[in-house]
Amino acid sequence: DFVSILRRLYDELEYDVIITHSTLWNGPEDAAKFSLWAKTLKNTGLIKKRVIFCHMSHYQPPDPLHYTIVERSYRESWNRLVFPQIFKTADLLLCTTPIEGDEMIRLGATPEQVHIFPGGVDTEYMDNVKDMREQLYEKLNIEEDRRLVSYVGTVEARKNPLAVVRTAKLLQDNEELKFVIAGAPGNQHADVVRESRYLKNLIYVGRLEDDEKVNLMRMSYLNIIMSRMEALGLTQLEFMYCGVPVVTSAVGGQKWVVRHEVDGLHVNGPDDYRGAAEAITRLAEDDGLWERMSVNAHERASRFSLKKLTKELIAKLENLRRK
């Protein structure tokens, strides 16, 4: 009974904002019920504060290519049943990209409800991470003169690091490049290990500590991400903040995060290994292009700092509270 829990928390804390996250659970639906109840209580004078209700869906369309018929039908049913309740009561819909915002409007939200909130790069943390690149080169046994093409993320089918392995296979003759896959094992771990076993131009290093990940980003020449589904891609923004252009499959929010020919290069989907190899080669052979994209990437990611985005959201919430 999440509604009663929200009421008890309100009685104890007198909070004035609820933000629910994700879909396919009862939290957003019950928060919508509580929000309407709280508005009624406020109008009758039984509670003092208005409760602002925000929902952050991280919505991705139930694509038949990525979901079984059972899961897809469940997602579609949830969307049809619960989203209308959320749209009727939510003050704000926090969307990671304008693409998601447009999808919310298509499903029934109003443009006024949509607030773009990509999550943001913790620039204060990243700026203060100790420089340990020399130690990381030694730990990972990577030559310092190699140009690193790095993947950071869980080794799972959705993020598709196996495509990085297959791209590396096409570039084995380029002795300047070294591919690095860093991330916790997931459901594509065995395939990545098997197919990369004899590749001299790729190293799979497993999970890194947070400070090590930042240093790997600083060491990298390019970031590669060949995801099959991606609502945003915060890791790409972190690479970009370090001045690293991105080669991406451009699915979902990726096509908005990484601007084609500006901050990086788009390829034709998650299985376009040849296109990825060509994009990497193009950047490796054109220092001027890489330098321009590096500057653009840093400038774009800097606009999405967590501190800046949070400050903007708080200002929006305070404005709603005054109404």
The CATH number linked to 138 is 3.40.50.2000
Q: Are residues 137 and 238 in the same domain?
A: yes
Q: Are residues 74 and 193 in the same domain?
A: no
Cα separation, 146 vs 315, whole angstroms: 45
Cα separation, 318 vs 259, whole angstroms: 32
Which tokens hold the place of 275? 């296109």
Q: Are residues 35 and 161 in the same domain?
A: no
Q: What is the pLDDT of residue 14?
A: 87
How does DSSP classify residue 50? Answer: P
Whole-number percent of the chain with pLDDT over 90 = 82
The residue type of 203 is I
In which domain, by residue range, is 87 found?
A: 2-120+306-322
**pTM (two decimals):** 0.91
Chain centroid to CA 47 = 38
Q: Are residues 83 and 185 in the same domain?
A: no
Q: Are residues 57 and 206 in the same domain?
A: no
pLDDT digits 0-9 by tens, 74-122? 888 888 889 999 999 999 999 999 999 999 999 999 999 999 999 899 9
pLDDT along the chain (323 residues), means of 10: 90 92 89 91 83 90 78 87 93 95 94 94 97 96 95 96 98 96 97 96 96 98 96 95 98 95 97 98 98 98 95 95 84
Q: Are residues 172 and 205 in the same domain?
A: yes
pLDDT digits 0-9 by tens, 118-135? 989 999 999 999 999 999
Decide: 177 and 200 in contact? Cβ < 8 Å.
Answer: no
Q: Mean pLDDT, the chain, as a whole number?
A: 94
Q: Are residues 71 and 131 in the same domain?
A: no
Q: What is the pLDDT of residue 112?
A: 96
Largest CA distance in the chain: 74
What residues contact 213, with CB distance under 8 A and at least 6 apart?
152, 182
Q: Are residues 313 and 289 in the same domain?
A: no
Closest C-alpha among 181, 156, 151 to residue 244: 151
Q: What is the pLDDT of residue 46?
A: 80
Q: What is the pLDDT of residue 74?
A: 86
Q: What is the pLDDT of residue 48?
A: 78
Q: Are residues 277 and 311 in the same domain?
A: no
Q: What is the pLDDT of residue 47?
A: 78
User: What is the domain count for the chain?
Assistant: 2
Q: What is the pLDDT of residue 76?
A: 87
